[in-house]
């Protein structure tokens, strides 16, 4: 029998849709169902590479793991990666097919919708429940005519919709009522209940508002989820705004929030370490003078972000920090910036053909039209770590370096290889491998290396940060907060 769908839509971006879908995936899996996540179209710079070498949204990969499933391209058939204010790279069925303007993408949508149907049907044939995530708001009047991710998907698969509002931002009742009011009658009919997310305080003080919402709409409030700070990977860089201050810890690490920052989830595991104070630094802010390490993360527009670093004075701060012996790390686009030159003569990412790098590594990057996407296993050539790391590559540049290689890749997807990666020189490290800090032993070796440079004693490996622990905590909180029995009724599934 085909799977039963359940769709989570929101009153806007960053209201918690991705995290709640992950929670539902784990809850339904815990209850003995085969479940999979699905998002027809995702616009995000946080991405993941499947075992088959397909690029999908990072959020859908995490949701798949919550469902105890291997991430596949069917879970996110279309990924849009903004390269400018008016265009995006279109990743179709896991592979980039070029950059498109909004108008060009609208013309492409019939082909996109056909692929969405095929992918959903494949998942539906293999599972009991599909948890579908919407995008932004379903009530954007200027976007509804070309929608292929919100109510179009709900109607296509006859999916009951749970509408989520973020009370922490204020105005949640107006958001929920306004969203419902702007929907067409058949769309309103699909909305089967509300979830209020990110609540702080005494729940009894909210009861009058909940009763009003139910009376006014005739739809139930299925629960109120408390505000929590679990490290479930988020897809929107706006999530970083909640994490700007930096936690306590002897070792201070600054991560630069580039204008086109991508895969910022690379550093979630570092943030969990008790002796690390990790801080996200905006392009117009200053680095901490006492930072032990500075990290340049990935970016979807290396040259533009490199020029922005120079224009805002942050490039000069990085160079001064290097002169003072601070450790500098670059991942993917950040690695490219650390070299002498970045060349993009084919206009893969930018209209600017070349830009001088920070020259902290003797390396030159050339952009290719073909994207490299692989899960990888690599051995370290670094002085502070002699083990292996697992991660993934997502890049359209190749870097020629005269420095010592940071890693040697020994497995790319299913192939045994010997491919040099990255560069290391004195206190500068660059690599194309995302997810290196998710490797517990490498992460602890890196932090202990910074401790040693500060004259501090190394710490032994403590408890390993685990997404599994986060999933179970998340599922417990959400199950306790929602009327799960009513959600099963909405699904028309007998609770096991």
What are the sequence ranges of the domains in the chain? Answer: 4-231+470-491, 240-453
Strand partners, 41: 78
Q: Identify whether the C-beta of residue 132 lies closer than 8 Å to the C-beta of residue 159.
A: yes
Assess whether pLDDT exceeds 60 at residue 446. Answer: yes
pLDDT at residue number 231: 60
Of 43-47, 61-65, 86-90, 390-394, minimum mean pLDDT range: 86-90
Rounded distance between C-alpha atoms, residue 307 and residue 242, angstroms: 26
Using DSSP's 3-state secondary structure scheme, residue 6 falls into strand
Strands 95-101 and 87-92: antiparallel
Share of the chain above pLDDT 90, in %: 76
Q: Mark whether 332 is an active-site residue.
A: yes
In 3D space, the residue among 366, 367, 354 whose CA is nearest the CA of residue 306 turns out to be: 354
Rounded distance between C-alpha atoms, residue 1 and residue 125, angstroms: 7
Confidence band, pLDDT 50/70/90 cuts, at residue 228: confident
- 200 contacts: CB under 8 Å, gap ≥ 6: 168, 226, 227
CATH architecture of the domain with residue range 4-231+470-491: 3-Layer(aba) Sandwich (3.40)
In 3D space, the residue among 286, 280, 277, 278 whose CA is nearest the CA of residue 309 turns out to be: 286
What's the mean pLDDT when you consider all of the chain?
91
Set 260, 322, 395, 434: catalytic member: 434
State the helix-helix crossing angle for 314-323 and 302-311, rounded to 10 degrees.
Answer: 80
When pLDDT is averaged across residues 408-436 and rounded to a whole number, the result is 95
Assess whether pLDDT exceeds 80 at residue 248. Answer: no
Q: Identify whether the C-beta of residue 318 lies closer than 8 Å to the C-beta of residue 328.
A: yes
Of 144-148, 389-393, 447-451, minimum mean pLDDT range: 144-148
Q: Identify whether the C-beta of residue 36 lies closer than 8 Å to the C-beta of residue 75.
A: yes
Confidence band, pLDDT 50/70/90 cuts, at residue 468: confident
- Count other C-beta atoms under 10 Å from residue 346's C-beta: 12
pTM of the full predicted structure?
A: 0.87
Residue 142 or 386, more confident: 386
pLDDT at residue number 246: 55
Burial class (CB in 10 A: 0-12, 13-18, 19+), 416: exposed
Rounded distance between C-alpha atoms, residue 326 and residue 344, angstroms: 30
Tokens of 441: 């032993």
Confidence band, pLDDT 50/70/90 cuts, at residue 60: very high
Q: Mark whether 260 is an active-site residue.
A: no
When pLDDT is averaged across residues 14-25 and rounded to a whole number, the result is 95
When pLDDT is averaged across residues 183-198 and rounded to a whole number, the result is 96
Rounded distance between C-alpha atoms, residue 202 and residue 219, angstroms: 23
State the helix-helix crossing angle for 17-30 and 467-481, rounded to 10 degrees.
Answer: 90
- Count other C-beta atoms under 10 Å from residue 282's C-beta: 15
pLDDT at residue number 347: 82
Contacts 24+ apart (CB under 8 A), 410-419: 410/377, 410/378, 410/379, 411/376, 411/377, 411/378, 412/374, 412/375, 412/376, 413/51, 413/52, 413/53, 413/374, 413/375, 414/51
CA separation (Å) from 408 to 86, 120, 267, 442? 38, 38, 22, 15
User: Between vectors from CA 318 to CA 270 and to CA 255, what angle results, nearest 5°?
Assistant: 25
Q: Which residue has the tokens 């004075």?
A: 313
pLDDT at residue number 272: 85
Assess whether pLDDT exceeds 70 at residue 244. Answer: no
Set 14, 233, 332, 395: catalytic member: 332
Strand partners, 193: 162
Residue 83 or 405, more confident: 405
Rounded distance between C-alpha atoms, residue 278 and residue 268, angstroms: 9
DSSP state of 198: E
When pLDDT is averaged across residues 227-240 and rounded to a whole number, the result is 61
- Count other C-beta atoms under 10 Å from residue 121's C-beta: 14
Instruction: Provide the sign of the torsion angle of the four alpha carbons 461, 261, 71, 150, taken in this order.
Output: positive
Fold match flag (4-231+470-491 vs 240-453) = yes
- 75 contacts: CB under 8 Å, gap ≥ 6: 36, 37, 38, 39, 56, 60, 61, 63, 64, 119, 123
Assess whether pLDDT exceeds 80 at residue 273. Answer: yes
- CATH number listed for the domain at residues 240-453: 3.40.50.880
Task: Tell me, rounded to whole angstroms, the distance of Cα 278 from its chain centroid.
Answer: 18
pLDDT at residue number 428: 97
Burial class (CB in 10 A: 0-12, 13-18, 19+), 28: buried
pLDDT at residue number 4: 96
Using DSSP's 3-state secondary structure scheme, residue 45 falls into coil
When pLDDT is averaged across residues 300-311 and rounded to a whole number, the result is 93
């Amino acid at each position: 029998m085909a799977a039963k769908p359940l769709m989570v839509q929101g009153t806007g971006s960053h209201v918690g849709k991705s995290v709640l879908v992950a929670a539902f995936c784990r809850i339904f899996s815990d209850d003995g169902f085969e479940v999979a996540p699905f998002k027809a179209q995702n616009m995000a710079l946080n991405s993941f590479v499947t075992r088959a070498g397909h690029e999908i949204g990072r959020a859908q990969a995490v949701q798949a793991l919550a469902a105890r499933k291997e991430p596949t391209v069917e879970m996110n058939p279309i990924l849009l990666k903004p390269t400018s204010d008016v265009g995006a790279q279109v990743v179709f069925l896991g592979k980039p097919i070029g950059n498109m303007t909004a108008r060009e993408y609208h013309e492409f949508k019939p082909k996109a919708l056909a692929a969405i149907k095929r992918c959903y049907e494949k998942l539906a044939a293999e599972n009991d429940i599909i948890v579908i995530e919407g995008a932004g708001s379903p009530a954007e009047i200027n976007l509804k005519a070309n929608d292929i991710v919100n109510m179009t998907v709900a109607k296509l698969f006859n999916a009951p919709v749970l509408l989520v509002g973020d009370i922490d931002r204020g105005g949640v009742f107006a958001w929920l009522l306004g969203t419902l009011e702007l929907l067409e009658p058949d769309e309103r009919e699909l909305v089967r209940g509300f979830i209020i997310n990110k609540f702080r305080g005494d729940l009894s003080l909210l009861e009058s508002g909940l009763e009003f919402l139910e009376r006014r709409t005739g739809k139930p409030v299925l629960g109120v989820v408390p505000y929590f700070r679990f490290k479930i990977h988020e897809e929107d860089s706006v999530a970083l705004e909640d994490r700007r201050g930096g936690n306590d810890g002897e070792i201070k690490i600054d991560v630069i929030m580039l204008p086109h920052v991508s895969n910022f989830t690379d550093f979630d595991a570092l943030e969990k370490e008790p002796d690390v104070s990790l801080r996200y630094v905006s392009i117009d802010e200053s680095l901490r003078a006492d930072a032990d390490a500075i990290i340049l993360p990935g970016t979807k527009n290396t040259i533009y972000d490199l020029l922005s670093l120079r224009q805002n004075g942050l490039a000069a701060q990085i160079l001064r920090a290097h002169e003072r012996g601070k450790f500098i790390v670059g991942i993917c686009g950040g690695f490219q910036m650390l070299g002498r030159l970045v060349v993009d003569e084919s206009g893969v990412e930018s209209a600017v053909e070349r830009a001088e790098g920070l020259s902290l590594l003797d390396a030159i990057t050339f952009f290719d039209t073909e994207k490299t996407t692989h899960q990888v296993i690599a051995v370290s050539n670094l002085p502070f770590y002699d083990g292996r790391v697992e991660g993934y590559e997502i890049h359209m540049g190749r870097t020629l370096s005269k420095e010592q290689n940071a890693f040697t890749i020994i497995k790319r997807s299913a192939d045994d290889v010997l491919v040099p990666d990255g560069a290391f020189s004195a206190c500068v490290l660059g690599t194309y491998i995302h997810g290196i800090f998710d490797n517990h032993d490498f992460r602890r070796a890196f932090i202990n290396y910074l401790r040693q440079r500060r004259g501090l004693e190394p710490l032994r490996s403590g408890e390993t940060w685990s997404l599994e622990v986060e999933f179970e905590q998340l599922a417990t909180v959400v199950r306790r907060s929602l009327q799960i029995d009513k959600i099963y009724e909405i699904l028309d599934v007998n609770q096991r």
